[in-house]
Structure 1
């Protein structure tokens, strides 16, 4: 019965977003990303550039291409095997450029935890709390991956306004922002996932991230997605911010 409800919800989300039911079967299709972007479009009617940090298999980029067909999307994914899937899933879409690297606050290499559940892969170690609540995240191994500061990539990326920086980097969002300080005047919107409980060792939680983003000159717009535990506790939330005075 739970599976039936999930399928029904997925159909409702795709229909409400204007996407065809056939899109559900496309490689890289994601109900979660479709819902988040459907919600974002209420506040952001058009985008020229999307920086997609933590692209995974292209779920967000593919949905973003539907909602913002005029935007060029730059998708960053550090795991080599996942990056290969990202390339395959997005190869038909000329508006998506892909990069096999992480974004952070340094340029060089980064010690990274590749998780058996690829969505949980991070530069930070999965916490005991997350392993207990989501056992599928318990297995990971450490690798070395390329990392770049967004500030060092201006020769590759043209910031065509309005610009959205989306971060789904599992607790590493603050480091991505530290590496983008000089780029922030060109970034109009931030979309990132933040935690209310410690999902990764050492990650900054909601209060710290909210205060940090405000100090950078952004103001909160709305929550556009969330993750709940089986006991309905909100663990993480996707938050949308805009640069002040735009």
Structure 2
């Protein structure tokens, strides 16, 4: 039976991202930082799976952010910050996809729109980006904490923006690509190496997408320290 939290999302047309259950079912975070929240799909999953955890989400696009606020209205343990995470505090351009959950701070490549039809560029917009520390102080991160990053090719830059606070997190859960789906993006080996340098070790790979001709395309990676 659908949980009350999931039903809250479905009333607004938002489904919980239950595909992450296998990756996260053994975790017990007290806080979740959700970078690249879109309409709250991951936050819905976490609010049901980890009902005692505080959730802080980041989403720079106005329309998905407004939907997120409607979904979680009245839930005191869930908070949204309407900005992107990156190494510098600035206004920057985002490339909005026809499917807005595929939008990125990097240009959308032809390979992305070929492999995932309907994710072509729709328009660009100016949004705010800042390091994670601009919104969260180290002593406000309840432990053990999980950081999730799903930012369509901008993973390494987002992690750079989190670097000072990464020691506060026990787990990192990051979507990475094996192929260049967004122009200039860092691929999975570089992201994995960065996290290993920060004291994490990879403990699993989940939800791998594979193309018959090109091989592995992308996957979700779980890390622990």
| TM-score, normalising length: structure 1 | 0.83
Task: State the match for 1:41 in structure 2.
Answer: 25
- Partner of residue 115 from structure 1, selected from 97, 108, 126: 97
- How far the C-alpha of 1:233 sits from its partner, in A, is 4.1
Residue 164 of structure 1: SS of its match in structure 2? Answer: strand
- How far the C-alpha of 1:155 sits from its partner, in A, is 4.7
**Structure 1: distance between partners of 2:77 and 2:44:** 10
- How far the C-alpha of 1:108 sits from its partner, in A, is 2.0
- Report how many residues are paired: 222
Task: State the match for 1:8 in structure 2.
Answer: none
Is 1:50 equivalent to 2:36 in the alignment? no
**Structure 1: distance between partners of 2:208 and 2:171:** 18
**Structure 2: distance between partners of 1:151 and 1:135:** 36
- Partner of residue 216 from structure 1, selected from 193, 198, 201: 198
Structure 1 unaligned segments of length 5 or more: list them: 1-14
Asked whether the equivalents of residues 84 and 129 of structure 2 are also in contact (C-alpha less than 8 Å), the reply is yes
Task: State the match for 2:115 in structure 1.
Answer: 133
- How far the C-alpha of 1:136 sits from its partner, in A, is 0.5
C-alpha deviations, 1:86-109, integer Å up to 9, x for none? 111121422110111111111121
Structure 2 unaligned segments of length 5 or more: list them: none
Residue 220 of structure 2: SS of its match in structure 1? Answer: strand
Is 1:29 equivalent to 2:15 in the alignment? yes
Two-structure CA RMSD over aligned residues (Å)? 2.2
- How far the C-alpha of 1:152 sits from its partner, in A, is 2.3
| TM-score, normalising length: structure 2 | 0.90
Residue 221 of structure 1: SS of its match in structure 2? Answer: strand
Asked whether the equivalents of residues 38 and 67 of structure 1 are also in contact (C-alpha less than 8 Å), the reply is no
Residue 182 of structure 1: SS of its match in structure 2? Answer: helix
Task: State the match for 1:77 in structure 2.
Answer: 59
**Structure 1: distance between partners of 2:219 and 2:194:** 16
**Structure 2: distance between partners of 1:70 and 1:144:** 35
Is 1:161 equivalent to 2:147 in the alignment? no
Larger gyration radius, structure 1 or structure 2: 1
